[in-house]
């Protein structure tokens, strides 16, 4: 655990998760259906000329759904493999991929103001520390157009977990099995992914560990209000917290 938390996350995606993320989440069709259901639940619609910023865009299923609904989309991610997949998923749609860190607004500020900024799929928990979460909220508030929305999604980590619940199978098929092992600390959960893959002759095992922040809904709501945003959605959907904040018109 010598690497910084943010570097450990990037290394984990580079070495293990990036090329397997869509498979882990159930495949392309499931990812696309989940993205549509999420934006339906949040009531996200576009007006002519609206631009959306997707921070931590991954393989592009949220970006594509936004583009289908009329947004021009700026899609930011640090992982090259996922951005390559995003290019395929979003081919023919109005999505511009950007290789960069979520908090490096030099990569996307020139396209502001944004009608919508999203940070979904537990990406928020991948930031380096709680201060970075506050910086992302403040930055987003400064980049929103009047009446614009900031949409956040993340998994709330349990307070008490029995040891036997800290190891589980994420997904399994004949030639690939993915397991996850959790180690809980006060501010972070260290996640070890273990993938077993059959190459036709033998099993290959890949292991990698990265941290997720244990996020507080109350702290995020307080930060958003301090940044001048108003809470409009605060609910749990598909076992993840969904928050939507709006800038006054």
Q: How many CA atoms, within 13 angstroms, populate the side-chain half-sphere of residue 152?
A: 28
Reported as a single tens digit per residue, the pLDDT across 53-109 is 999 999 999 999 999 999 999 999 999 999 999 999 999 999 999 999 999 999 999
SS3 content of the chain, % helix, strand, coil (to 5): 35, 35, 30
Task: Label residue 238 exposed, middle or buried (CB < 10 Å: 0-12, 13-18, 19+).
Answer: exposed
113-76-127-165 Cα dihedral, nearest 10 degrees: 120
Reported as a single tens digit per residue, the pLDDT across 191-227 is 999 999 999 999 999 999 999 999 999 999 999 999 9
- Sorted by sequence, the CB contacts under 8 Å of residue 150 that are 6+ apart come out as 116, 117, 118, 119, 137, 140, 141, 144, 224, 229, 244, 245, 246, 247
Nearest alpha-carbon partner for 214 in 239, 192, 187? 187
Q: Which domains does the chain have, with CATH numbers?
A: 5-157+215-247 (3.40.50.150), 163-212 (2.20.25)
Nearest alpha-carbon partner for 230 in 97, 163, 141, 123? 141
């Amino acid at each position: 655990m010598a690497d910084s938390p943010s570097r450990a996350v990037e290394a984990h995606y580079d070495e293990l998760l990036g090329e397997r993320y869509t498979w882990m989440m159930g495949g392309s069709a499931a990812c696309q259906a989940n993205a549509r259901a999420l934006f339906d639940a949040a009531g996200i619609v576009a007006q002519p000329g609206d631009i959306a910023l997707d921070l931590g865009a991954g393989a592009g299923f949220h970006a594509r759904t936004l583009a289908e609904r009329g947004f021009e989309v700026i899609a930011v991610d640090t992982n090259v493999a996922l951005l390559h997949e995003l290019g395929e998923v979003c081919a023919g749609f109005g999505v511009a991929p950007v290789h960069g860190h979520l908090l490096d607004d030099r990569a996307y500020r020139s396209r502001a103001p944004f009608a919508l900024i999203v940070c979904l799929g537990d990406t928020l928990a991948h930031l380096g520390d709680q201060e970075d979460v506050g910086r992302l909220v403040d930055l987003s508030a400064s980049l929103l157009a009047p009446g614009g929305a900031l949409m956040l999604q993340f998994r709330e980590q349990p307070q008490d977990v029995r040891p036997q619940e800290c190891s589980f199978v994420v997904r399994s098929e004949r030639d690939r099995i993915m397991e996850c092992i959790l180690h809980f600390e006060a501010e972070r959960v260290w996640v070890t992914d273990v993938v077993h893959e059959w190459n036709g002759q033998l099993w290959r095992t890949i292991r990698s560990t990265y941290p997720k922040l244990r996020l507080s809904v109350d702290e995020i709501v307080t930060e958003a209000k301090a940044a001048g945003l108003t809470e409009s959605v605060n609910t749990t959907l598909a076992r993840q917290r969904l928050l939507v904040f709006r800038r006054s018109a």
